[in-house]
């Protein structure tokens, strides 16, 4: 039997989703981090990646001004740091210092990657549009950096990486590698 769901919580039905940390800079090249669950591949050719950022967030204005960002895919063991970066504002908090995450230079843009991540998409803003209370930023993926042991034949190596997933309501999880099934 089906019952009526809460339309105000419709997004809860899309979870779990990978949790990412997006790095962006201000005009003085000071880096900020925002934790996001609303993101997706937008195109393979050209390589485009989209992130959805609330218009009220500090990172929203930074990305709009500098037109660059990095999508950092992170392991489950960074759950507390991801939570911190998602619940404090970069307007009045130095999230890099407080989270103790490590920044490393990107290859082709001015925004650094988060060293503890296992994959990084360096993006230049191609387009943006308002969608309700969020802005969708579509970035052209300029280059990709990955940890050398994170992927096997372009598939995430879950024996060495346990990705972080957001469940909604401040709950997180990861993959149960025993339940991964390859279908030929």
What residues make up the domain containing 162?
A: 17-149+156-174
Q: Pull the structure tokens for residue 67.
A: 């037109």
Tokens of 38: 């609303």
9 in a domain, yes or no?
no
pTM to 2 decimals? 0.94
Asked if residue 7 is part of any domain, the answer here is no
Compute and round to an integer the Cα radius of gyration of the chain: 17
98-143: per-residue pLDDT in tens?
999 999 999 999 999 999 999 999 999 999 999 999 999 999 999 9
- Identify the residue whose tokens are 């989703």: 17
Instruction: Indicate whether 137 belongs to any domain.
Output: yes
Per the structure, the count of domains in the chain is 1
Residue 7 neighbours by CB under 8 Å, 6+ apart: none
Kindly state the helix (H) or strand (E) to which residue 141 belongs, with its residue range. strand 134-146
Flag whether 182 is in a domain: no
- Identify whether 4 is part of a domain: no
pLDDT digit string (tens) for the chain, length 184 residues? 998 888 888 888 888 999 999 999 999 999 999 999 999 999 999 999 999 999 999 999 999 999 999 999 999 999 999 999 999 999 999 999 999 999 999 999 999 999 999 999 999 999 999 999 999 999 999 999 999 999 988 899 988 899 999 999 999 999 987 667 677 7
- 66 within some domain: yes
Q: Is 109 helix (H, G, I), strand (E, B) or coil?
A: coil
1 located within any domain: no
User: Is 3 within a domain?
Assistant: no
Which CATH number is 29's domain given? 2.30.110.10
């Amino acid at each position: 039997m089906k019952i009526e769901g809460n339309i105000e919580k419709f997004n809860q039905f899309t979870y779990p989703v990978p949790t990412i940390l997006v790095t962006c800079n201000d005009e003085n090249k000071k880096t900020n981090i925002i934790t996001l669950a609303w993101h997706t591949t937008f195109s393979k050719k050209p390589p485009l990646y989209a992130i959805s950022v609330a218009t009220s967030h500090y990172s929203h204005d930074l990305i709009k001004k500098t037109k660059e960002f990095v999508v950092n895919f992170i392991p489950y063991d960074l759950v507390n740091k991801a939570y911190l970066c998602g619940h404090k504002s970069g307007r009045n908090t130095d999230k890099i210092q407080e989270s103790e995450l490590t920044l490393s230079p990107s290859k082709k843009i001015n925004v650094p990657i988060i060293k503890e991540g296992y994959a990084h998409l360096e993006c230049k803003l191609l387009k943006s549009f308002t969608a309700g209370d969020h802005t969708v930023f579509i970035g052209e993926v300029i280059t990709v950096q990955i940890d050398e042991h994170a992927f096997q034949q372009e598939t995430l190596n879950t024996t060495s990486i346990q990705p972080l997933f957001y469940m909604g309501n401040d709950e997180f999880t990861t993959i149960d590698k025993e339940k991964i099934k390859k279908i030929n």
